[in-house]
Amino acid sequence: MAQAIRSGAHQESAVPYALTYLGLLALTVTTFVLSRKDFGIWSFVFAMGIAVTKASLVVLIFMQLWHHRGLPRLALATALLWLALLMVFVVADVRTRFPLSNPSYNPIAGPGEPAPSNEKTGTGQQNQP
Amino acid sequence: MHPEAAAERHFSSPEFQRHAARLGMWTFLATEILLFAGLFVAYVEYRSLYHESFFQGSRHLDAMLATIETVVLISGSFAVAMAHHYTLINRSGWACVGLLLAAASGVAFLALHGVEYVTHFREGALPGKYYTFSEIQTSGISMFFTLYFLLTGLHSLHVIAGTGVLLWLAFFAARGAFSSQNYSAVENGGLYWHLVDLIWIFLYPLLYLIG
C-alpha cells in the first residue's frame, strides 16, 4: 500500500505534459476540420471518438491517473458507471413508451393546444388529477 | 502554511495524508461529474426528440469561437500541469507563473464566452419562453438554447470558481508556501481545473460541432 502511494507521486519529467498538450491541440484542430464536412453518422463517431481520446489524455497524463492507481481510479470509474446507468435507463424509458404508459392528457401542452390522446374518450383534461 | 508541512496527527506520514487528500478530491470530482450528468442526459433525450432543431441550433453557434475557447482552456490545463511539475521540483516562482497563466486562461475563456452570450442576447436566442430569434423557428429550438445556456452557464460558473482557486494558489506559491513536500493544494486545485477542461471537451463537440 505504502509502495503504491509512493510510486508516481513525482512526475519527474515535463516532456509527457508537453507532448499531451501538443496532442490535445492537434486533436482540437482535427475535430473542428472534420466537423465542417458531412460524413453522415460518422461525423458523430469522429467527434465523440476524438472527445473521448482528448478526455483520456487529460485524465491519464494531466490528472495523473496513469500513475495514481487504485482508489482515485475507482472514484472516476464509479462516477462514469452512474452516468452510464442514468443515461441508459432514461433513454430506455422514453424509447419504450406506449399508450398505457403515458398520461391520457398532454401534461406539457401549451395553453390553447389540443391535448393529443390515444383513448377514445379523450379530450383529456377531464382526466387530469 | 509551511513548505515542510507535517502530517496531521491522525496520519502516519505526509504521504498518507496526501493520498487521503487526493482521494477526497477525486470523490468530489465524481460528484461534479454527476452534477453535469443530468444535463447531459437531458441533452441526449431532447436531441433525439428535436433532431432537426438541434442541428440548426448547433450550426447557428460560432464553432470557430468555441474552438479558440477550447484551445484557451487546454492551454490553461497545460499551465496547471506545469505548475504542479515545478512545485514538485521546488521551483516556486515558475509554479506561480504557471498558476497565473492558467488563471488568465480562465479569464480569457469567460471573456470569449461573454461575447457569445451577448450575441445570443441581442438576437433573442434565449432559453425557454424568452426565445425570440426569428431565423430559426422549428419545434424544439427553444430547448436547444435552454440546454445551451444551462450547460455552458454551469460550466462557466465552474470556470469562475476554478479561476479563483488558481489565483489563491498563485498567491501562496508566490510566497513560497509550496514545495516537493507540501504540494497537495496545488495538485488538488489543479485537478479541479482539469475537470473544468474535461467537461468542456465534451460540451464543445456536443453543442458546436455535431449537426
Q: What is the ipTM of this complex?
A: 0.91
The pTM of this model reads 0.87
Query: Please, where are the H alpha helices in chain B?
Result: 14-49, 51-60, 63-88, 92-123, 141-174, 184-203
Q: Is residue B7 domain-resident? A: no
Q: Is B109 within 8 Å of B157 (Cβ atoms)?
A: no
Residues 53-112 on A with a CB inside 8 Å of B are 54-55, 58-59, 61-63, 68, 71-72, 75-76, 78-80, 82-83, 86-87, 90-91, 94
pLDDT at position B21: 92
Residue B5 has pLDDT above 70, yes or no: no
As to burial, measured by CB atoms within 10 angstroms (0-12 exposed, 13-18 middle, 19+ buried), residue B84 is buried
Decide if B22 touches A, using CB distance below 8 A.
Answer: yes
Q: Using N-to-C axis directions, what is the helix angle for B14-49 and B184-203, rounded to 10°?
A: 10
Q: Is residue B39 domain-resident? A: yes
Task: Give B56-113 as a DSSP string.
Answer: HHHHHS-HHHHHHHHHHHHHHHHHHHHHHHHHHTT-HHHHHHHHHHHHHHHHHHHHHH
pLDDT at position A115: 54
Contact criterion met (CB < 8 Å) for B37 and A82: yes
Q: Is residue B57 domain-resident? A: yes
Q: Is residue B9 domain-resident? A: no
List chain A domain ranges.
2-68
Q: Using N-to-C axis directions, what is the helix angle for B63-88 and B92-123, rounded to 10°?
A: 160
Residues 32-61 on B with a CB inside 8 Å of A are 33-34, 37-38, 40-41, 44-45, 48
In angstroms, rounded to a whole number, what is the distance separating the alpha carbons of residues B131 and B123? 9
Q: Is residue B73 domain-resident? A: yes
Nearest C-alpha of chain A: how many angstroms from B122? 26
Rounded mean pLDDT of chain B? 92
Q: Is A40 within 8 Å of B207 (Cβ atoms)?
A: no
Contact criterion met (CB < 8 Å) for A79 and B29: yes
Counting the structural domains of chain B, the total is 1
Look up the domain containing B156 and give its range. Answer: 14-209
Residues 73-132 on B with a CB inside 8 Å of A are 74-75, 77-78, 80-82, 84-85, 88-89
Q: What is the DSSP letter of B182?
A: B
What's B26's domain CATH number? 1.20.120.80
Q: Using N-to-C axis directions, what is the helix angle for B141-174 and B92-123, rounded to 10°?
A: 160
What tens digit of pLDDT does each residue of A105-120 get? 887 776 666 555 544 4
Q: Is B182 within 8 Å of B1 (Cβ atoms)?
A: yes
Task: Give A42-96 as a DSSP string.
Answer: HHHHHHHHHHHHHHHHIIIIIS-TTT--SHHHHHHHHHHHHHHHHHHHHHHHHHT
What tens digit of pLDDT does each residue of B108-153 get? 999 999 999 999 999 999 998 899 988 888 888 999 999 999 999 9
As to burial, measured by CB atoms within 10 angstroms (0-12 exposed, 13-18 middle, 19+ buried), residue A111 is exposed
